[in-house]
Amino acid sequence: MPTCNAARVCIFLTCVAGTKTCAAADLPTGFVRLAAVAPAILQDIRYAGSDNFTGRPVPGYGAPACWLRKDAAEALSKVEKDLAANGLGLIVYDCYRPQRATDAFLRWAADPADQSAKVSFYPNVDKRTLFAYGYIARRSSHSTGTAVDVALVRLAEGAVPKGLDFGTPFDRFDPRSATASPAIAGEARQNRESLVAVMGRYGFENYRNEWWHFSLRTAGATTTFDVEIK
């Protein structure tokens, strides 16, 4: 992997090489901090802490911050404004993900002895099947800055926003987390459908195995990055 002195140079190299990732000291060119574009969107970046399926902070998450490509951040801001008109809001759990984090997930998945978070995140699934079922992959659209993991919250003046019921928690590796799972009904199913609908209006496509995962359809981004989030 090349050592890059500026994100602009890195992007040029990755685009020419096609398969390389970029490491730089600052945001990649074309990226923004979501807080600067849509400050009303709540952020709970799980991989910056230990409340995730690995049970520890993930490499590359030096700060609990959401970075996205500018077009993805602007589209997400439109989603937030749409929801606010109905007393709802967004919370993001993951945005841009450095490639080193994805690599760490692969190492974790290959270690059958590490089951510290099984009860909370994959109680009904054999860890050895996570890769085959698509819960973990070698490359992620998160690393292009065009994907987000989100949920809906209900807003109330003077009160802490309340998360809505989606049938399973974020990052629960389970067939019930599939967006259209027949095991999910009632309010939780309606919430999933509402999330897919509002995200879809602004160009985001849902990943069918995870109700929370969305990628910007119109982004056309293939370059992945390995810039540490700070």
The residues carrying an active-site annotation are: 210
Place of tokens 């902070």: 57
- Residue 45 CB contacts under 8 Å (≥ 6 apart), including other chains: 61, 64, 65, 66, 92, 93, 94, 95
